[in-house]
C-alpha cells in the first residue's frame, strides 16, 4: 500500500473531500474526518474506527493496524502502517470508518 493508493481509495468514496489538518492531509464526509495521511510520516495513515472495530482489525493484521496514541486511540482512532496493509483489508477498514461517519450524521 502506498500513500497514493490510500488517497485514491478514500477519494473514490462518493462525497469524500481532501482537506488539511495539523499539517497533513485529511479526508472528510459531511465535514467529519474519517481518515488521514502522513502522520507521523509518509508510511502511515489513520482511519476513525470504533474501539470494537479497531480490535477486530488489529486481530486480523497487527503489523498494519495499531491504536493511535492517547485518548484518540482508545476511542478507535487507528494508525495504519501502509507498507504492511493489504488493499482488501484497508478498503474494509475505510468502509467501516465511512459507515461510522454516516451513522453519526443520522443520529
What local confidence, expressed as pLDDT, does residue 107 receive?
61
Could you tell me the fold of the domain covering 3-83? 3.90.1150
Q: Of residues 107 and 47, which shows the higher confidence score?
A: 47
- Whether residue 22 has pLDDT greater than 90: no
Q: Say if CB 95 and CB 36 are below 8 A apart.
A: no
Domain residue ranges in the chain: 3-83
Q: Rounded to whole angstroms, what are the CA distances from 26 to 23, 52, 59?
A: 9, 23, 25
Q: What angle do CA 59, 87, 85 make, to 5 degrees?
A: 50
pLDDT tens-digit readout, 42-100: 999 999 999 999 999 999 999 999 999 999 999 999 999 999 999 999 999 999 999 99
- Whether residue 105 has pLDDT greater than 90: no
- Whether residue 36 has pLDDT greater than 70: yes
Amino acid at each position: 500500500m502506498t500513500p497514493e493508493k490510500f488517497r485514491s481509495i478514500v477519494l473514490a468514496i462518493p462525497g469524500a473531500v481532501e482537506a488539511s489538518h495539523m499539517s497533513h492531509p485529511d479526508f472528510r464526509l459531511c465535514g467529519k474526518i474519517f481518515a488521514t495521511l502522513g502522520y507521523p510520516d509518509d508510511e502511515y495513515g489513520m482511519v476513525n474506527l470504533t474501539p470494537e472495530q479497531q480490535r477486530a482489525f488489529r486481530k486480523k493484521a497487527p503489523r498494519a493496524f495499531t491504536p493511535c496514541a492517547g485518548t484518540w486511540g482508545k476511542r478507535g482512532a487507528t494508525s495504519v502502517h501502509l507498507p504492511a496493509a493489504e488493499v482488501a483489508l484497508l478498503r474494509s477498514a475505510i468502509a467501516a470508518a465511512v459507515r461510522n461517519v454516516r451513522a453519526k450524521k443520522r443520529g
